[in-house]
């Protein structure tokens, strides 16, 4: 069963009076409304070794141009969206998360824009494009492009 934004909020804020951990609030903020820039795509990275995107809006500013530079999406939770801006002069690869606990610990998949079907482990983003990854079901990202 997937996690909705409402159930995610409830997990951070159970009913009753209690102190809220600052780390929990920071994690919630990162998931819902945060930005990160200056991200470097890893040369020859895999879903496991590439930098994990932790913000809702991410700008990749550095890649080597090898065509194998990559980053990894966070686990796909129902109702979540993540934007990735390829601000480099090169094509980069975006990996699906390799171990989503909300999907039984299995790897997420990405259905690229303009396609249907089972999805793939990764997609590539050309220079200057912005992709938005949305999840309507735990374990599955649907990509849409600014192109």
**Per-residue model confidence as pLDDT tens for the chain (147 residues):** 445 555 555 555 566 777 777 877 776 676 677 899 999 999 999 999 999 998 999 999 999 877 789 999 999 988 889 999 999 999 999 999 999 888 889 999 999 988 888 899 999 999 999 999 999 999 999 999 976
Query: In sequence order, what are the residues at sequence separation of 6 or more whose Cβ sits closer than 8 angstroms to the Cβ of residue 127?
Result: 86, 88, 89, 90, 91
pTM: 0.79
Torsion region of 38: left, alpha or beta (phi above 0 gives left; psi -120 to 50 gives alpha) = left
């Amino acid at each position: 069963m997937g996690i909705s934004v409402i159930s995610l909020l409830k997990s951070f804020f159970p009913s009753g009076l209690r102190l809220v951990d600052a780390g929990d609030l920071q994690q919630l903020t990162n998931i819902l409304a945060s930005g990160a820039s200056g991200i470097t795509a890893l040369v020859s990275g895999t879903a496991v070794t590439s930098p994990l995107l932790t913000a809702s809006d991410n700008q990749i500013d550095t890649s080597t141009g090898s065509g194998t530079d990559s980053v990894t999406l966070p686990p796909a939770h129902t109702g979540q969206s993540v934007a990735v801006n390829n601000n480099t002069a090169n094509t980069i690869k975006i990996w699906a998360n390799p171990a989503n606990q909300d999907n039984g610990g299995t790897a997420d998949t990405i259905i690229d824009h303009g396609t249907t079907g089972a999805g793939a482990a990764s997609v590539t983003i050309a220079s200057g494009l912005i992709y938005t990854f949305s999840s309507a079901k735990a374990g599955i990202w649907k990509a849409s492009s600014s192109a």
